[in-house]
Structure 1
Amino acid sequence: MTPNSWKQSKEFINLISDKLTVLLESSEFETTRSQLMELIQSLDKRYGITINCIIDVIDWEEERILPLLNTGISTTESGEIFRTWNDASPQKYVIDGEIHVVPQDFCPSCWNDWGFKWKKRTCPECGIKLGEECKILLDSDVCPHCKDGIISMNKPVCIECGFKIDPNCVVWG
């Protein structure tokens, strides 16, 4: 996705997410929560239940799907209900001089799963290589690994997690 389409979708996704939060915490949803509790109590302790709302972008021409939101409620082993967030943080990439924005565990070229890019530098689906055709755009000082530490061109090692930026794999912006 382009940065502009990502920004537009994020505004929409945030609105939907906020409305889902209100719904899931509302008194109107209490019946559903009670029924969920009844169902989980009727099952063996090894089982849990999840209700999810998933929003994906579908590219019909390329036949690919990019997840934008995955949230809902789940049950613990004791049957308590808790909120779930199964989203990946957005990551900016540069491919052929163009910026692409996708969840961090997806390929910015083919949109397929591509976790652990720093270790597995070739997308298993399309073969694009991190550090060659594809680079991660770092336009803030937030560590792309832990999201808590600070990194920079002059200090490429995160003081929080010890992650070291490979300068061949990034573009600073």
Structure 2
Amino acid sequence: MSEANRPARPDLRRPHHLIAFGFGSGLAPFAPGTFGTLLAIPIYLLLQSQPLPAYLTILLGLFLIGIPICGRTSDDLGVHDHGGIVWDEVVGYLVTMSLAPPGWLWLVLGFLLFRLFDILKPWPIRWIDRRVSGGFGIMFDDLLAGLFALVVMQAIELTGVIQ
């Protein structure tokens, strides 16, 4: 690839790049989505004590601000859904954990389930990932992965497999 065709590098001095790249976690040399999801854990720990309506309101706000932030960063870099854009992973994990019981086991299970659905992208996640562009597309497929993981976590909790 010639230098003229190479995508721009993120500039973390620009606030939208800093947020989209998960405050630098998206710059990890391998598995940036996993590092972005790891960033979501302390954010979740700060939010978990919120009443559900407040948690969901904050989550909606984080999703909505992610749309223009990720879209603009993607445009700046010239790559749709650049691998280093991880704000969508942060929000997706927070979706996964929105009804999670307390405890480290649930934190880890939510992490693993979210990463599984984010990586495998079962239908309709893969379909949306390929057809919906811009910041909304970047955010929405991870929102769905978070919802899939949330449903599996709720099923596990209801069956009592994990106590």
TMscore range, shorter length:
0.3 to 0.5
Q: Which of the pair has the greater relative contact order for Cα pairs under 8 Å at 6+ separation?
A: 2
Tell me which structure has the larger Cα radius of gyration. 1
- TM-score when scaled to structure 2? 0.34
Q: Select the structure that is richer in strand.
A: 1
